[in-house]
């Protein structure tokens, strides 16, 4: 039997979450699928139990932490499905979202990628898609967006909470759930290996967009995303996370706009951090400004 969808999950010390994600897939999904779990050298070796308990899972074990994009690339390379669903380990399905994606893509061969509405565990909506990061968003983030908040949210924000039930094109979808046409990936390539974490899905979506494969959000497909559940560190001033995020953002701007614009954007976000240090009276933002500027 042909495989319709290859579902790829990157695991890094999140065995319990990965197990629950796979269980939701098994209980909710009607289309023919395979599950590929790519383990990024987790310290928690209990990931082996998923293979023992759930024979539908194909486990790929890495000898080092490859990051999000490169680990997904390893899964995509062996995927046998017509489509690949990249889904975070800290997610679980509310409904048969995968079949909703599959049926839509079968009927719309020009679409390269689709995704659904994401929710917190308590049912509150969270960021599901975004506009491509831009110079306009950076300038607005300093404080100007208060003068055009609705326009900013709709046309500039790189992180948007969906409030519309219409199926429609968007710039890019949250990397927590990306249902991608395999033939489109064959044409544009896989994730850029220079990204370790953050913005890799944005850059891939940009390439799909430029190649004529738009992304679409399908609100009827509903998924819970326990945002941050796949990351072991948390806190307002998680400097390691800030450094990785800022470095990836700079790389994205270099790819899309060139080095000069990327440098200007770094300066703008550094200034924003300094403003926050003043207004919130938290010295940690001064270190954040330095991290951003050096990224």
**pLDDT for the residue 233:** 47
Sign of CA dihedral 66, 72, 77, 79: positive
Reported as a single tens digit per residue, the pLDDT across 96-121 is 999 999 999 999 999 999 999 999 99
CA distance 203 to 192: 8
Whole-model pTM? 0.94
pLDDT at 26 over 90: yes
Q: What's the CA angle centered on 179, arms 101 and 41, to 5 degrees?
A: 140
**Mean pLDDT along residues 162-178:** 97
pLDDT at position 45: 79
CA distance 289 to 280: 14
Whether 21 shows a pLDDT value over 70: the answer reads yes
Work out the mean pLDDT of the chain and round it to a whole number: 95
Q: What is the mean pLDDT of residues 130-137?
A: 97
> Which CATH code, of 1.20.1050.10, 3.40.1190.20, 3.90.950.10, 3.90.550.10, is assigned to 5-132+162-225?
3.90.550.10
- Strands 57-61 and 33-39, bridge-based pairing: parallel
Q: Where do the domains of the chain lie?
A: 5-132+162-225, 239-294
Tens-digit pLDDT profile for residues 255-273: 999 999 999 999 999 999 9
Task: Give the pLDDT confidence of 58-111 residue by residue, as tens digits.
Answer: 999 999 999 999 999 999 999 999 999 999 999 999 999 999 999 999 999 999
Q: For residues 184-213, give the mean pLDDT.
A: 98
Q: Which residue intervals of the chain are DSSP H helices?
A: 15-28, 48-53, 68-78, 97-107, 135-141, 149-151, 182-188, 200-210, 239-257, 259-280, 284-294
Has residue 41 got a pLDDT over 90? Answer: yes
Q: What is the pLDDT of residues 199-240, one digit of tens each?
A: 999 999 999 999 999 999 999 999 999 976 555 444 578 999
- Alpha-carbon distance values, 280 to 90, 183, 206, 285, 286 (Å): 32, 49, 35, 9, 11
What pLDDT band is residue 53 in, cutting at 50, 70 and 90? confident
């Amino acid at each position: 039997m042909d495989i319709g969808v290859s579902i790829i999950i990157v695991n890094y010390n999140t065995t319990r979450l990965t197990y629950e994600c796979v269980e939701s897939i098994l209980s909710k999904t009607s289309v023919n699928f395979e599950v590929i779990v790519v383990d990024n050298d987790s310290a928690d070796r209990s990931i082996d139990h998923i293979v023992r308990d759930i024979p539908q899972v194909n486990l790929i074990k890495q000898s080092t932490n490859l990051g999000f994009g490169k680990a997904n690339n390893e899964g995509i390379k062996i995927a046998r499905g017509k489509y690949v669903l990249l889904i975070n380990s800290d997610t679980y399905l509310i409904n048969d979202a995968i079949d909703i994606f599959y049926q839509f893509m079968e009927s719309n061969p020009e679409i390269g990628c689709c995704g659904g509405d994401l929710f917190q565990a308590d049912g509150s909506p969270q960021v599901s898609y975004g506009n491509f990061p831009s110079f306009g968003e950076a300038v607005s983030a300093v404080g100007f967006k208060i003068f055009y908040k609705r326009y900013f949210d709709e046309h500039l924000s790189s992180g948007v909470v969906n409030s519309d039930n219409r199926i429609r094109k968007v710039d890019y979808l949250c990397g927590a759930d990306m249902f991608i046409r395999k033939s489109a990936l064959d044409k544009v390539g896989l994730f850029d290996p220079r990204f370790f974490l953050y913005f890799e899905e944005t850059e891939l979506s940009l390439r799909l967009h430029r190649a004529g494969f738009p992304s679409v959000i399908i609100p009827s497909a509903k998924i819970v995303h326990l945002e941050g559940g796949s990351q072991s560190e948390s806190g307002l001033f998680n400097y390691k996370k800030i450094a990785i995020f800022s470095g990836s953002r700079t790389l994205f701007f270099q790819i899309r706009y060139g080095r000069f614009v990327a440098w200007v954007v770094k300066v703008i976000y550094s200034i924003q951090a300094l403003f926050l240090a003043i207004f919130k009276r938290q010295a940690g933002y001064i270190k954040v400004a330095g991290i951003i500027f050096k990224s």
